[in-house]
């Protein structure tokens, strides 16, 4: 083994050790997304472009990839429909091209935390399962609910399978997620690996996701979460076979956040009461 290989392997081992230590489930009020309330959450890098992380001197691909149906616009991040992209632009300093190259000056740990989790999930998934299992087992104040992928997406079936396994090991905790990776969900249902404490919300963005939800809707763990706007009203969804039984209370029809309603109190997306929830564009 030459010196270059040794140096590369050492750097790889150091990166693995670092990201597994830093890739943690955010606890309750420590979560930066205030509408979640007092629940745990897991967030990864969003979008379908490359993000430069100067602290690690690495470039990491956003996890939405092929599943991002125009939500994020890497050519003009300020005009993205993705609510995560909107919050990044609104609350942080950033380069015009949407990269996070100014993260050192910005001291924005949210971006770095997203990078740690993304690298851990995509490069060290088996080790990550053991790490998260240990985190939850040794947590003094247990989390009643954990939202998976507060930002970002399942990049493959194996991502979802890991969370299914973690949920099985921690049946006392409710896990839930919104996803556009319909292929991964379909395979998980076929393989019967989705436990009763993990709720999967199929993200329906106008016409995207309707066919897939209707195919899978009879499974007890499957829900739908639909974007409602002036073009796609509840009536239009109904005409396509989607009956929205309740609206998300976190946002009003103008897209303004209602701070009195938080996800941990609402529970619509991870209970047996609602199969199909609508949410106004925000």
| Total of domains in the chain | 1
How confident is the model at residue 103, as a pLDDT? 38
Domain range for residue 142? 22-280
Is position 1 within any domain?
Answer: no
- For residues 133-145, give the mean pLDDT: 91
Query: 30 vs 258, which has greater pLDDT?
Result: 258
How confident is the model at residue 46, as a pLDDT? 83
Q: What is the pLDDT of residues 45-70, one digit of tens each?
A: 887 777 777 777 777 888 987 777 65
Task: Calculate the CA dihedral of residues 149, 41, 144, 202 and round it to 10 degrees.
Answer: -20
Is position 211 within any domain?
Answer: yes
- Sorting pLDDT into bands at 50, 70 and 90, what band is 250? confident
Q: Cβ(266)–Cβ(176) under 8 Å?
A: no
For 19-44, b/e burial (b = at least 16 CB within 10 A) is: bbeebbbbbbeebbbebbbbbbbbbb
**Which burial class, exposed, middle or buried, applies to 77 when counting CB atoms under 10 A from its CB (0-12, 13-18, 19+)?**
buried
pLDDT at 95 over 60: no
Taking the C-alpha atoms of residue 249 and residue 258, their distance in angstroms, rounded to an integer, is 7
Across-strand partners of 246? Answer: 277
Task: Work out whether strand 58-61 and strand 50-53 pair parallel, antiparallel, or are unpaired.
Answer: antiparallel
User: pLDDT over 90 for what percent of the chain?
Assistant: 52
Closest CA to 33 of 263, 266, 280: 263
Max CA pair span of the chain: 66
Is position 10 within any domain?
Answer: no
Is position 17 within any domain?
Answer: no
- Alpha-carbon 276 to chain mean position: 19
Closest CA to 122 of 201, 62, 179, 54: 62
Is position 263 within any domain?
Answer: yes
Taking the C-alpha atoms of residue 36 and residue 266, their distance in angstroms, rounded to an integer, is 10
Taking the C-alpha atoms of residue 136 and residue 139, their distance in angstroms, rounded to an integer, is 5
Is position 60 within any domain?
Answer: yes
Taking the C-alpha atoms of residue 148 and residue 160, their distance in angstroms, rounded to an integer, is 10
Taking the C-alpha atoms of residue 73 and residue 97, their distance in angstroms, rounded to an integer, is 10
Is position 256 within any domain?
Answer: yes
Q: What is the pLDDT of residues 140-196, one digit of tens each?
A: 888 999 999 998 999 999 999 999 999 999 999 999 999 999 999 999 999 999 999
Is position 32 within any domain?
Answer: yes
């Amino acid at each position: 083994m030459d010196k270059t290989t040794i140096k590369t392997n050492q750097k790889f081992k150091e990166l693995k050790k670092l990201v597994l230590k830093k890739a943690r489930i955010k606890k309750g009020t420590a979560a930066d997304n205030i509408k979640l309330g007092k629940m745990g959450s897991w967030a990864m890098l969003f979008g379908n472009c490359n993000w430069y992380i100067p602290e690690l001197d690495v470039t990491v691909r956003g996890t939405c990839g092929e599943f991002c149906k125009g939500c994020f616009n890497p050519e003009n991040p300020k005009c993205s429909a993705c609510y995560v992209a909107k919050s990044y632009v609104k609350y942080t300093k950033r380069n015009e091209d949407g990269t996070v190259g100014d993260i050192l000056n910005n001291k924005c740990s949210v971006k770095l935390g997203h990078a740690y989790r993304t690298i851990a999930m995509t490069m060290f998934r088996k080790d990550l399962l053991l790490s998260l299992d240990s985190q939850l087992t040794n947590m003094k104040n247990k989390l009643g609910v954990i939202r998976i992928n507060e930002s970002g997406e399942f990049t493959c079936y194996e991502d979802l399978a890991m969370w299914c396994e973690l949920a099985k090991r921690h049946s006392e905790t409710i896990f839930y997620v919104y996803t556009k990776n319909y292929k991964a969900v379909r395979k998980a249902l076929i393989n019967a690996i989705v436990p009763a404490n993990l709720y999967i919300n199929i993200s329906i963005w106008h016409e995207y996701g309707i066919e897939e939800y209707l195919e899978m809707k009879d499974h007890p763990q499957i829900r739908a979460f639909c974007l409602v706007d002036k073009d796609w009203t509840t009536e239009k969804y109904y005409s396509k076979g989607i009956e929205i039984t309740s609206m998300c209370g976190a946002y009003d029809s103008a897209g303004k956040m209602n701070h009195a309603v938080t996800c941990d109190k609402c529970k619509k997306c991870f209970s047996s009461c609602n199969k199909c929830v609508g949410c106004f564009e925000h």
